[in-house]
Structure 1
Amino acid sequence: MYLTDRSAPPKAGADQGPRRGPGRKVAPVVLVLGTVSLITDISSEMVTAVLPLYLVTTLGFSPLGFGTLDGVYNGVSALVQLTGGHLADRIRNHKLLAGLGYGLSALCKPLLLLAGSIGTLGTVLALERTGKGLRTAPRDAMISLSTPTERQGRAFGVHRAMDTTGAMLGPLAAFLILRAAVDGYDAVFGVSACVAALGVLVLVLFVPGRKRGGVSDEAVLPGGRQQSDTSDGTGISAGEGLPQSKPPVRVREALALLRVPRMRALAGCAALLGLTTVSDAFVYLLLQRRAGIGEEWFPLLPLGTAAVFLLLAVPFGTLADRIGRRTVFLAGHAVLLVAYVLLLWAPATSALPVLVLALHGTFYAATDGVLPAALAGIVPSHLRASGLAIVGTSQALARFCCSLAFGAAWTMWGDGPALAGSAIGLLCCAVVAGVVLRPADGTR
Structure 2
Amino acid sequence: MDQPLPNAAARPALPRTVWVLGVVSLLMDLSSEIYHALLPAFLTITLGLPVAAMGALDGFAEATASMAKLVSGRLSDRNQRRKPWILLGYGMAALSKPLFPIATTALPVLGARFVDRFGKGIRGAPRDAMIADETPPELRGRAFGLRQSMDTVGAFLAPLAAIGLMILFRNDIRAVFWVAVIPAFLSFGFAWVMLRESGDHAPIKAKIKWGGFRDLDPAVKRLIGVGFLFGLARFSESFLILKGIDAGISASWSPIVLALFNLAYLLLAYPAGILSDRMSPKGLLLVGIGLLVAADLVLAKGVSLWTVGLGVILWGAHMAFTQGIFSRMIADAAPEAQRATSFGAFFFVSGIAALLSSLGAGLIWDRSGASATFIAGAVLAAVAGAMLVLLPRSDRSAT
Indicate the TM-score class for this superposition, using the shorter chain for normalisation: over 0.9
Give the CA deviation at 1:437: 5.5
Counterpart in 2 of 1:388?
343
Counterpart in 1 of 2:380?
425
1:91 counterpart letter in structure 2: N
1:95 counterpart letter in structure 2: K
Task: Note the 1:101-112 alignment, pairs <5 A.
Answer: 101-112=89-100
Q: TM-score, normalised by structure 1?
A: 0.83
Counterpart in 2 of 1:351?
306
8 Å CA contact 1:72, 1:125 repeated in 2: no
Counterpart in 1 of 2:141?
153
Give the CA deviation at 1:183: 5.7
CA RMSD of aligned residues (A): 2.1
**Whole-angstrom CA distance in 2 between matches of 1:178 and 1:430:** 40
Structure label with greater radius of gyration: 1
Task: Note the 1:279-428 alignment, pairs <5 A.
Answer: 279-289=236-246, 291-346=247-302, 348-428=303-383
**Whole-angstrom CA distance in 1 between matches of 2:203 and 2:8:** 27
Counterpart in 2 of 1:224?
none
Task: Note the 1:166-181 alignment, pairs <5 A.
Answer: 166-181=154-169
8 Å CA contact 1:276, 1:422 repeated in 2: yes
Counterpart in 2 of 1:115?
103
Give the CA deviation at 1:154: 0.7
Sort the Cα spacing of 1:256 and 1:432 in 2 relative to 1 into closer, same or farther, 3 A: closer
- 1:346-368 per-position Cα deviation (integer Å, ceiling 9, x unaligned): 4x344324312221111111011
Give the CA deviation at 1:394: 1.3
8 Å CA contact 2:244, 2:254 repeated in 1: no
Task: Note the 1:69-88 alignment, pairs <5 A.
Answer: 69-88=57-76
**Whole-angstrom CA distance in 2 between matches of 1:194 and 1:94:** 25
**Whole-angstrom CA distance in 1 between matches of 2:112 and 2:124:** 19
Moved more, 109-118 or 141-150: 109-118
Residue 274 (str. 1) matches residue 274 (str. 2) = no
Moved more, 119-128 or 367-376: 119-128
2:298 counterpart letter in structure 1: L
Moved more, 110-119 or 155-164: 110-119
Give the CA deviation at 1:274: 0.9
**Whole-angstrom CA distance in 2 between matches of 1:403 and 1:437:** 30
Give the CA deviation at 1:381: 2.1
**Structure 1: stretches of 5+ with no match in the other structure:** 1-18, 220-239
**Whole-angstrom CA distance in 2 between matches of 1:306 and 1:278:** 16
Sort the Cα spacing of 1:350 and 1:140 in 2 relative to 1 into closer, same or farther, 3 A: same
**Whole-angstrom CA distance in 2 between matches of 1:287 and 1:423:** 19
Query: Once the two structures are aligned, what percentage of the paired residues are identical?
Result: 31
Moved more, 132-141 or 430-439: 430-439
Give the CA deviation at 1:123: 1.9
8 Å CA contact 2:65, 2:117 repeated in 1: yes
Q: Which has the higher helix share?
A: 2
15, 18, 22: which one aligns with 1:30: 18
Give the CA deviation at 1:20: 6.0
Give the CA deviation at 1:265: 0.3
**Whole-angstrom CA distance in 2 between matches of 1:247 and 1:336:** 41
Counterpart in 1 of 2:3?
none
45, 54, 63: which one aligns with 2:33: 45
Sort the Cα spacing of 1:376 and 1:247 in 2 relative to 1 into closer, same or farther, 3 A: closer
**Whole-angstrom CA distance in 2 between matches of 1:155 and 1:128:** 25
8 Å CA contact 1:257, 1:263 repeated in 2: no
8 Å CA contact 1:56, 1:62 repeated in 2: yes
Give the CA deviation at 1:247: 8.5
Residue 90 (str. 1) matches residue 78 (str. 2) = yes
197, 203, 215: which one aligns with 1:242: 203
- 1:364-408 per-position Cα deviation (integer Å, ceiling 9, x unaligned): 110111111112332122321111111111112101110011111
Task: Note the 1:122-271 alignment, pairs <5 A.
Answer: 122-182=110-170, 184-209=172-197, 216=199, 219=200, 240-242=201-203, 251-252=210-211, 255=213, 257-258=215-216, 260-271=217-228
* Count of residue correspondences: 392
Sort the Cα spacing of 1:95 and 1:293 in 2 relative to 1 into closer, same or farther, 3 A: same
Counterpart in 1 of 2:4?
none
**Whole-angstrom CA distance in 2 between matches of 1:332 and 1:24:** 27
> SS of 2:277's equivalent?
helix
Sort the Cα spacing of 1:125 and 1:241 in 2 relative to 1 into closer, same or farther, 3 A: closer
**Whole-angstrom CA distance in 1 between matches of 2:344 and 2:52:** 28
Sort the Cα spacing of 1:287 and 1:183 in 2 relative to 1 into closer, same or farther, 3 A: closer
- 1:268-316 per-position Cα deviation (integer Å, ceiling 9, x unaligned): 1100111121211112212331x32222221121111111111111111
Give the CA deviation at 1:181: 0.6
